[in-house]
Structure 1
Amino acid sequence: MRAVAMQDATLSVIEVPEPVPGPGEVLVEVIASGICGSDKSCLTHGEDFNRAAVGAFGTPMLDLSQSIVFGHEFVARIVSYGPGTEQKLPVGARVVSVPFLLRDQPVMLGFAGIEAPGAYAQRMLLSEALLIPVPDNVSSDAAALTEPLAVALHSLNRADVGANDVPLVLGCGPIGLAVIVLLAARGVGPIVATDLSPERRALAMKLGADVVVDPTVDSPYQAWMQAAATEDPALMAAPTALAGQPALRPTVGFECTGVPGLLQQMISGAPPGSRIAIAGINLHSESIEPAQAVVKELDLRACLYYSPEEFAQTLQMIASGAIDPTALITGHVGLDGVADAFQRLGTSPTDAKILLDPTR
């Protein structure tokens, strides 16, 4: 079969053996796969990802000595079952899944080699126990966005977002836009969003942001505090030791860029008592001033992936119409167009989520 493989920081379309499902596994045909910013980061900063993983867990995330097939955001169709499977879903059924293979040594799909390819391929393997059928009323494009929206849902849950909170979303790339979709679905607001790109600020408004800020013109932190201002003591955030009782509703910030310096910028600009969700991945050293966070009593909460329950809940929200993520999609490519799509996502302000269709 054909797949897009990364080797030596280069993407190319190659022929690879079709994977064979082992016990409890299913062979599926990829219908659509989202191109994620983390894929792009792995392409250009694979060693930095490995350094972070070794520091955290003692083992690298990527085997850069072999070809790697990306793709962890996907919707697929069941082709055949391996041994020891229950086969409750019919062949041909559309499914999504948390991107892991449940083996003795679990496999992170989208970050492994050609023997367990991610969704940048015509076919891939999934664990039957993790399959979730896609309802008939959900388009394949929308289903392919289950994974990135689950990332956003996890970020909201990690930040303990409540109905009275006023959020600031720093960065309107795919992560920030997905966070805006979920905040709007919960009725949280007003939502303040900021990005350098006017096109992405416009998309943020389309997806539910109430206030968008060009950071080269105005301070997003001033806009955030103006949006949170209240004279009602019942709505005010809890007092902090040094700042006392602010005339503000509770504030929660989402750092969705991973750009060096912006986490410290948010620490400096956030009102006392704010919660800050770190949703963007900065692969470089970051200099922050912990004393500022201490005297303001800020909560810094790093976010990664999601639980299986959050993943399933996200698909349910799409199916029920509670969220419509399709405005995030700005393009479709075939396998031969993936390398160009990576370039576009690094330079084009009009692109958010590009989907790969291996049949194109």
Structure 2
Amino acid sequence: MRAVIRRNKALVCDEIEDLAPQAGQVLVKTLACGICGSDLHALHHMEHMIELTSRANGGMTNGFDPTKDTVFGHEFCAEILDHGPDTSGALKAGTRVVSMPVTLTPAGGAEMLGFSNALPGGFAERMILSEALLLPVPNGLPTDQAAMTEPFAVGAHAVAKARLDPNSVALVVGCGPVGLAVIAGLKAKGHGPVIAADFSPRRRAAAEMLGADVVIDPAQESPHGRWEGFGVPTTRAAQNMIRMMGGSFGRPVVFECVGSPGVLQSLVEAAPAGAQIVVAGVCMETDRIEPAIAITKEIELTFVFGYTPEEFAETLHHIAEGVIDVSGLVTGKVGLAGVAGAFEALGDPEAHVKILVEPGLA
């Protein structure tokens, strides 16, 4: 079968071995798979990513060798083709499904799809998934929207980790895929006002479409100038004065969704005293902050990653019910032969919001 393979830090469309499901597994046809920012980074820097992951996990790498062939793709919607042994078959062949990008093995291990040498991710005509992790796509939900479940679950998890109160004001810095998912997650839970900031006009338009209450171009205006307009005093002295007079204000929460060196320090300096900064942008480089500033302002830093199975399932439900409207976010679709070009196109934030890979396209 055909797949797009990361080989020698390049993307090659080639033939790979056909797949056969083992115990508890199903064979699926890939219908659509999104290109993630982590895919873009991993193309050239996979070795560094895995080295950092290993350090974070006490030296464990799950046996993955970043120098060997890898088929990316972890944001997918697929169709069941066949069931392996020891499966219930509750979801019949032809059923469209989504899944967390993890395939359980009969030996008790797990393959992280898109970052595995043993199993291909969604940039392949077929995949092997675990029956126990499948979620059927609700009738009527288009395939391209179902494929957005995984990236938007990332935003749901970031929101779940934020200590938002009913009067909180949220600022989302960076409106790429992660920032957009956070905005959607905030509005799905009824939070607001939500301020969104990005230099890109296209990304700002997407943020507004997903429900951001205020959209700001940081080149023209600092988003931090809006805190007091929403009743959030920015200094500890002003906050203490309001409390002494019997008043209250919402907890300010900032979502860092850029992941570039220097951004976190700039937020520590600019955020209101007592703010929680939820770090969802993945900075892969050594960064620098000045703790004394964060200490003086009593800034809380929360780092988030991934999502829970419950958040993944809830995100699919929210998309299917229209609570999260992703209908206008897919700005391009390519077949396997167009994946390398799509990676290049996504380097320009004005060119696309999200590109889907559809292996069935010519």
| Bin for the TM-score computed over the shorter chain | over 0.9
TM-aligned CA distance change 1:194 to 1:17, over 3 Å: same
> Residue 82 of structure 2: which of 72, 76, 80 is its match?
80
Identity of aligned residues (%): 46
Is 1:185 aligned to 2:188, yes or no?
A: yes
Report if aligned partners of 2:165, 2:250 keep a CA contact under 8 Å in 1: no
Aligned-partner Cα distance in 1 for 2:212–2:270 = 20
Match in the other structure for 1:287: 288
Aligned-partner Cα distance in 1 for 2:193–2:127 = 42
Is 1:324 aligned to 2:325, yes or no?
A: yes
Report if aligned partners of 1:28, 1:124 keep a CA contact under 8 Å in 2: yes
Match in the other structure for 1:233: none
Q: Secondary structure at the match of 1:151?
A: helix
Instruction: Give the TM-score normalised by structure 2.
Output: 0.93
Report if aligned partners of 1:190, 1:227 keep a CA contact under 8 Å in 2: no
Gaps of 5+ in 2: 243-247
Amino acid at match of 2:121: G
Aligned-partner Cα distance in 2 for 1:29–1:91 = 10
Aligned-partner Cα distance in 2 for 1:329–1:245 = 48
Match in the other structure for 1:256: 257
Is 1:212 aligned to 2:227, yes or no?
A: no
Report if aligned partners of 1:181, 1:325 keep a CA contact under 8 Å in 2: no
RMSD: 1.9
TM-aligned CA distance change 1:282 to 1:10, over 3 Å: same
Match in the other structure for 2:245: none
Aligned-partner Cα distance in 2 for 1:245–1:301 = 27
Is 1:358 aligned to 2:359, yes or no?
A: yes
Amino acid at match of 1:2: R
Report if aligned partners of 2:33, 2:74 keep a CA contact under 8 Å in 1: yes
Gaps of 5+ in 1: 231-235
Aligned-partner Cα distance in 1 for 2:299–2:352 = 33
Is 1:31 aligned to 2:38, yes or no?
A: no
Deviation at 1:64, TM superposition (A): 1.9
Report if aligned partners of 1:194, 1:214 keep a CA contact under 8 Å in 2: yes
> Residue 122 of structure 2: which of 105, 110, 119 is its match?
119
Match in the other structure for 1:107: 111
Report if aligned partners of 1:159, 1:252 keep a CA contact under 8 Å in 2: yes
TM-aligned CA distance change 1:227 to 1:337, over 3 Å: farther
Aligned-partner Cα distance in 1 for 2:114–2:327 = 22
Deviation at 1:338, TM superposition (A): 0.8
TM-aligned CA distance change 1:13 to 1:59, over 3 Å: same
Amino acid at match of 1:263: L
Report if aligned partners of 1:70, 1:120 keep a CA contact under 8 Å in 2: yes
Is 1:96 aligned to 2:98, yes or no?
A: yes
Report if aligned partners of 2:345, 2:351 keep a CA contact under 8 Å in 1: no
- 1:221-232 map, 5 Å: 221-223=224-226, 225-229=227-231
Deviation at 1:201, TM superposition (A): 1.2
Aligned-partner Cα distance in 1 for 2:286–2:334 = 34
TM-aligned CA distance change 1:105 to 1:264, over 3 Å: same
Aligned-partner Cα distance in 2 for 1:19–1:345 = 30
